[in-house]
Amino acid sequence: MTRVEQAERTPQQERSIRTRRRILECAGTLFDRRGYSGTTVEDIAKEAAVTRGALYHHFRHKQYIAAAILEEQFEGMVIPPQRVRMQELVDAGYLLAYGLQNDAIQRGAARLTMEQGTDPIDRARAMQLWVEFAVSILFEAQKNGEVRPGVDVKRAGRTLVVSFTGAQNMSQALTDRRDLYEYITDIWRYSLPGVVNDDVMGQLTFDPARGAQIAGNRMALAS
């Protein structure tokens, strides 16, 4: 948040923003643990220590809470630019993995997106936004001469998101996402050679710690 934005907000607005954030984080934690249908608005109000009235002031229905979580998962996905553009996609994978381990909103959003429910959640939109995000970086990489000839950037980008989706689900099931970094590194190692040129492959850094670094820098900037 910039100084100007801070100056324009009254203490009451500040409080309201913080309450909204706390509601989303608590809802994210509960959705991650129990799923959408297994979580009630009452559960969320209790977990966030707000009255039902305060909660309804921010969100008139549980499905708006879920929608807000699916939106806000993209807020922090700002990746520092890199000379090799494909490194930005690699870094985004590690940043998302960091979020899935440490951020209630990312965890809640992941489960909301994976669940094959009859609930009113627009999982398709969340998935498509991830595909667009990956494809946009791949297009930059292609302009930079990094992509193999003959690669369909839209389909290759979708395939990488597909792989990430599976990694998040499988590591969630097998180790509560503790080995997610290993899955992500394996995706980069085994799926990128079919997408980028060999010399680019040799220049990429597969370092899971980059996720925590980017998240840490972002928080330092915001404070």
Task: List residues near its own copies by CB under 8 A.
Answer: 33-35, 38, 111, 113-118, 123-124, 127-128, 151, 155-156, 158-167, 169-170, 172-174, 182-183, 186-187, 189-195
Phi-psi category of 167—alpha, beta or left, where left has phi over 0 and alpha has psi -120 to 50?
Answer: alpha
Residue 21 or 182 with smaller CB distance to its own copies: 182
Q: Which of 27, 38, 40, 35 has the alpha carbon at shortest distance from 116?
A: 35
Tokens 């791949």 appear where? Answer: 138
Closest separation in Å from C-beta 53 to its own copies: 30
Residue 159 or 213 with smaller CB distance to its own copies: 159
User: Structure tokens of 121?
Assistant: 């959640």
For residues 42 and 22, give the distance between their C-alpha atoms in angstroms, rounded to a whole number. Answer: 15
Residue 50 or 187 with smaller CB distance to its own copies: 187
Query: Hey, which bits of 100-168 come out as E strands?
Result: none
Residue 117 or 216 with smaller CB distance to its own copies: 117
Closest separation in Å from C-beta 190 to its own copies: 4
116 by Cβ neighbours in 10 Å (0-12 / 13-18 / 19+) ranks as exposed
Closest separation in Å from C-beta 113 to its own copies: 8
Beta-bridge partner residues of 147? 196
Closest separation in Å from C-beta 30 to its own copies: 12
CA dihedral 154, 156, 160, 161 (to 10 degrees): 20
Residue 131 or 214 with smaller CB distance to its own copies: 131
Closest separation in Å from C-beta 173 to its own copies: 5
Residues in the chain: 223
